[in-house]
A and B are shown apart, each in its own frame.
Chain A
Amino acid sequence: SQQGEEDPQALSIQEGENATMNCSYKTSINNLQWYRQNSGRGLVHLILIRSNEREKHSGRLRVTLDTSKKSSSLLITASRAADTASYFCATVEGGYSTLTFGKGTMLLVSP
């Protein structure tokens, strides 16, 4: 079953611009994670945010979590062509340990 749903499905921006991706989910969660996938490759873990956290930063990445709205956002600042990839949010539901993934947002950053 699909828990998270990313929005938009695709995003095209210029280098140097910021990219914002959103994720909505349906049930209460233990934590929410964001992953990046370059074409035809495995996924790379970006950030894990727990249900009692509201915001987390890692380099040019900023993740927010609003459990009252069951939503999260991933902001990539000052984007680069190398950020071109698909980005997935994934949730761990309370009491379970498996990750449930959304369908992803495809980000294209043009030079």
Chain B
Amino acid sequence: DGGITQSPKYLFRKEGQNVTLSCEQNLNHDAMYWYRQDPGQGLRLIYYSQIVNDFQKGDIAEGYSVSREKKESFPLTVTSAQKNPTAFYLCASEDRNYGYTFGSGTRLTVV
């Protein structure tokens, strides 16, 4: 079955820690995206990548970093510089003719 896998489903971070969220797709899509969702809110774009070894900042990139070394993988690191990281993080890949396919999300909580 083709799709996007995000892991872990739940993640707890201590103050000052960096954590990395995994996103893997087997849809052969070129473009991948990371969004953040806060309660009762829409999605806000963090980073996106249209092609391997290239990525661009979205609307709220500060405190986050990404890499795109393989077409299938687009991990997101939430750094200690992100002051309010508690949120639901969603990864997606894109078919230009169809739309986005989303993973099931990672819920990050700062403890």
Contacts and interface: CB of A to CB of B under 8 A. Distances in A.
Secondary structure at chain B's binding surface: helix, strand, loop or mixed? strand
A98 B99 contact: no
Given A41-B105, A97-B31, A33 B42 contact: no
Interface size class of chain B, counting residues whose CB lies under 8 Å from the partner chain:
20 to 34
Contacts of B96: 97
Contact of B42 (A40, A44, A104): A104
A35 B104 CA distance: 14
B1 interface: no
A48 B103 CA distance: 19
A73 B83 CA distance: 37
Interface stretch (B14-22, B43-51, B62-70, B74-82): B43-51
Interface of A: 1-2, 4, 33, 35, 40-45, 48, 88, 90, 97-104
